[in-house]
């Protein structure tokens, strides 16, 4: 679990994630997203050792008992000591600092792992609010990518 000033962020179990993905709840809103999540999160999570499953699941952030956001890691740390994070804040909770708190919490969790040196995020070029969220969380713009995304990065000093 990750705690911030206002949030309790809890990793979903495999069973909870399966239920969420197949019911189109949370950030999964269409069949393409569902297929990608099954391929890149559910299958690897099921095959991962129990201690490493949190790298593949969604973490759900709660504020005063309400689900505010979903966040997590795209994959476990790479050989280059990089981990990528994602965040989805429900529209009614955007622009209230919850996303920034959650991203900072994910980064704080990463500092406990000496096999992580960089935390990055891929953000759509036209998603200015997310770019600002990551900048407020200590990330800097690294590069434009060929797929229409911008890469933001933070170097850990652990």
Residue 155's nearest CA partner among 119, 122, 131 is 119
Nearest to 90 by CA among 64, 60, 58, 120: 60
pLDDT digits (tens, 9 = 90+) for 89-140: 999 999 999 999 999 999 999 998 878 999 999 999 999 999 999 999 999 9
pLDDT of res. 113? 83
Q: Is the pLDDT of residue 79 over 70?
A: yes
Question: How confident is residue 158, by pLDDT bands cut at 50, 70 and 90?
Answer: low
Quote the CA–CA distance of 36 and 13 in Å, as a whole number: 18
- Residue 26: the pLDDT is 65
On the question of pLDDT at 157 being above 70, the answer is: yes
Residue 25 has pLDDT above 70, yes or no: no
- Looking at residues 41-47, what average pLDDT do you find? 86
User: Treating both helix axes as pointing N-terminal to C-terminal, what angle do 98-110 and 128-136 enclose, rounded to 10 degrees?
Assistant: 50
Tell me what pLDDT residue 57 has.
87
Is residue 130 a contact partner of residue 106, using CB atoms and an 8 Å limit? Answer: no
Is 41's pLDDT higher than 90? no
Residue 10: the pLDDT is 96
- The pLDDT, as a whole number, for residue 17 is 86
């Amino acid at each position: 679990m990750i705690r911030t000033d206002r949030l309790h962020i809890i990793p979903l179990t495999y069973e909870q994630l399966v239920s969420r993905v197949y019911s189109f709840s949370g950030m999964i809103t269409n069949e393409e997203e569902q297929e990608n999540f099954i391929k890149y999160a559910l299958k690897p999570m099921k095959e991962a050792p129990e201690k490493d499953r949190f790298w593949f699941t969604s973490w759900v952030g709660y504020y005063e008992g309400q689900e505010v956001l979903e966040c997590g890691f795209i994959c476990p740390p790479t050989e280059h000591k990089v981990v990528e994070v994602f965040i989805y804040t429900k529209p009614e909770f955007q622009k209230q600092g919850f996303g920034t708190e959650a991203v900072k919490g994910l980064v704080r969790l990463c500092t406990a792992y000496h096999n992580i040196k960089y935390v990055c995020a891929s953000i759509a070029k036209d998603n200015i609010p997310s770019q600002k969220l990551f900048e407020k969380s200590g990330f800097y713009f690294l590069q434009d990518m060929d797929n229409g995304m911008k890469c933001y990065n933070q170097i850990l000093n652990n």
